[in-house]
Amino acid sequence: MSRLSLLFASLAFSPNTYSDEQNIWKQIREGISGYSAVNSQESEILIQASGTQWLTIRNELIAGTGAWLLALTVLALAVFYLIRGRVKLTEPPSGEMIERWSKSERWLHFYTASLFILLAITGLSLLYGRSFLISWLGHDSFSQYADIAKIVHNYAGPLFSVGLVMMGMIWFQDNLFDKTDITWFKQYGGMIGNQHPSAGRMNAGEKVWFWLLMTAGVLVSITGMNLDFPNLGQYRLIMQISHIIHSVSAFLLIIGALGHIYIGTIGTEGALRGMITGKVDKSWAKQHHDLWYQQINKEKQNFLKPSGNSAKYGSKIQ
């Protein structure tokens, strides 16, 4: 009988007014807030329940899975390079150069890329430095490095976001998916096998990388800005969630960037030169971006005619 009345009693109480003494410890454990004369952030909460959960997610899930994913990516790229080797030009270089990236595009690319690398190195140092760098550098030197890394990470972050937004604006048009991308995917972008699937100015792989940047990159930026300003007094739960989203998206970006860097440097002949000088060989354009090549050829003919309209696609014949 008393048990039944207890049941009714617990139903009658609203969740905030527990007079039951034993219940109060359960409430405190779940993070109930009260009153405190101390006037600091969340001082009125005795126990925050999410702290240890966040700790487990960060130290085990994110750090553990992240390390494996990074190692596997590097390994996969190495194995791929050994098997497939460099994707070479099928036709000999013609010597005739076409402008692929304008000067501002190249500046923007390397501005964002160098900030990204800086952010990735400093960010990974904060996550893994304790496991790998302290035994090597010692506590004092690592702490000095981490202090600088933290400041660099905090300040480079917003600068990276600016680059990211600008990239989104200038390359948005080129990165909309269309029908040719389906074939491109079916043929693994020509990476596996010897086919040369058609592609416009951006192939489907580049588009995927673009949209990864525009989603994960934007998430990283938003959560990063949040973590950047702890003085605004965000609740710890918000910061914990931000940190988790920030690290997961950052790992996606780092893995994507490793693939991107591989393809853009040792993976494909002539690609890096294209981004550095802005110009690519005619044969390279025909092989990798045939539709784009046809497009600019057409423009070239139009350009030669008096009624031409050349500025439309942002690329000119040199």
Partner 1 sequence: MARMKFLCDDDRCIECNACITACKNEHEVPWGVNRRRVVTINDGQSGETSISVACMHCSDAPCAQVCPVDCFYFTDDGVVLHDKDLCIGCGYCFYACPFGAPQFPQDGAFGNRGKMDKCTFCAGGPEEDHSEAEFEKYGRNRLAEGKLPLCAEMCSTKALLAGDGDVISNLFSQRVTQRQLSQEEPDSGTAQVKLWGWKTAYKD
Partner 2 sequence: MTSGRLVEYEGGGDETRSNPWLAELQQQMFVEINPADANNAGVKHGEQVWVEGPEGGKIKVMAFVTNRVGRGLVFMPFHFAGHYQGKDLRNKYPEGCDPYILGESCNTVFTYGYDSVTAMQETKVSLCRLQKA
Beta carbon nearer to partner 2, 44 or 174: 44
Stretch that binds partner 2, among 37-45, 78-86, 110-118, 177-185 (CB under 8 A): 37-45
Residue 44 contact, options partner 2, partner 1, none, Cβ 5-8 Å cut-off depending on partner type: partner 1
Q: Does 210 sit near partner 1 (CB under 8 A)?
A: no
Binding partner 2 (rule: CB under 8 A), the pick from 1, 11, 12, 37 is 37
Binding partner 1 (rule: CB under 8 A), the pick from 36, 215, 301, 309 is 36
β-strand partners of 270: none
Q: Taking the alpha carbons of 183, 188, 191, 192 in that order, is the dihedral positive or negative?
A: negative
d(CA 281, CA 171): 22
Q: Does 39 sit near partner 2 (CB under 8 A)?
A: yes
Residue 142 contact, options partner 1, partner 2, none, Cβ 5-8 Å cut-off depending on partner type: partner 1
Ranges within 151-170 binding partner 1 (CB under 8 A): 151, 154-155
Q: Does 14 sit near partner 1 (CB under 8 A)?
A: no
Binding partner 1 (rule: CB under 8 A), the pick from 106, 109, 150, 282 is 150
Q: What is the 3-state secondary structure (H, E, C) of 110-174?
A: HHHHHHHHHHHHHHHHHHHHHHHCHHHHCHHHHHHHHHHHHHHHHHHHHHHHHHHHHHHHHHCHH
Binding partner 2 (rule: CB under 8 A), the pick from 12, 35, 83, 231 is 35
Residue 59 contact, options partner 2, partner 1, none, Cβ 5-8 Å cut-off depending on partner type: partner 1
d(CA 45, CA 85): 59
Nearest to 221 by CA among 274, 172, 165, 262: 165
Residue 318 contact, options partner 2, partner 1, none, Cβ 5-8 Å cut-off depending on partner type: none
Beta carbon nearer to partner 2, 8 or 35: 35
Q: What is the DSSP string of 50-114?
A: HHHHHHHIIIIIIIIIHHHHHHHHHHHHHHHHHHH--B--SSPP-S-EEE-S-HHHHHHHHHHHH
Q: Does 194 sit near partner 1 (CB under 8 A)?
A: no
Can you give the binding site for partner 2, defined by CB under 8 A? 35, 37-39
